[in-house]
Amino acid sequence: MKNLYVGTSWKMNKTVAETREYMKKMKEFMQNNGEAIKDLDVFILPTFLAIDAALQITRNANSGLKIGAQDCCWEDFGPFTGEVSPMHLKDLGVSYVEVGHAERREIFKETDEMVSKKVAAIVKNKMKPILCIGEEEKPSQIDIALNFLKNQLLDDLSRIESADLKNIIIAYEPVWAIGATASAPLDYIKEAIDFLRALLNKEFGGRHGDDQVIIYGGSVTPESAKDILALPDNDGIFVGRSALNIDYFIKMIIMASEVQKVK
Q: How far is the CB of 225 from ligand PEP (least distance, A)?
A: 11
Q: How far is the CB of 12 from ligand PEP (least distance, A)?
A: 11
77 or 108, CB closer to ligand PEP? 108
- Beta bridge partners, 69, equal 97
**Which residue among the candidates 98, 101, 135, 208 is catalytic per the annotation?**
101
Active site residue 28: no
**Which residue among the candidates 98, 103, 110, 173 is catalytic per the annotation?**
173
Q: How far is the CB of 30 from ligand PEP (least distance, A)?
A: 21
99 or 178, CB closer to ligand PEP? 178
57 or 69, CB closer to ligand PEP? 69
Q: How far is the CB of 50 from ligand PEP (least distance, A)?
A: 18
Q: How far is the CB of 78 from ligand PEP (least distance, A)?
A: 29
95 or 221, CB closer to ligand PEP? 221
Determine the Cα–Cα distance for residues 25 and 112; give it in Å rounded to an integer.
37
Q: Which residues, other chains included, contact 35 with Cβ-Cβ below 8 Å and sequence gap of 6+?
A: none
129 or 240, CB closer to ligand PEP? 240
Instruction: Give the binding site for ligand PEP (CB under 6 A).
Output: 173, 178-179, 217-220, 238-241
Taking CB atoms, the residue at the shortest distance from ligand PEP is 240
Report yes or no: 9 and 240 within 8 Å, Cβ to Cβ. yes
63 or 219, CB closer to ligand PEP? 219
96 phi, psi to nearest 5 deg: -120, 145
Q: How far is the CB of 206 from ligand PEP (least distance, A)?
A: 30
Active site residue 101: yes
Catalytic (active-site) positions = 101, 173
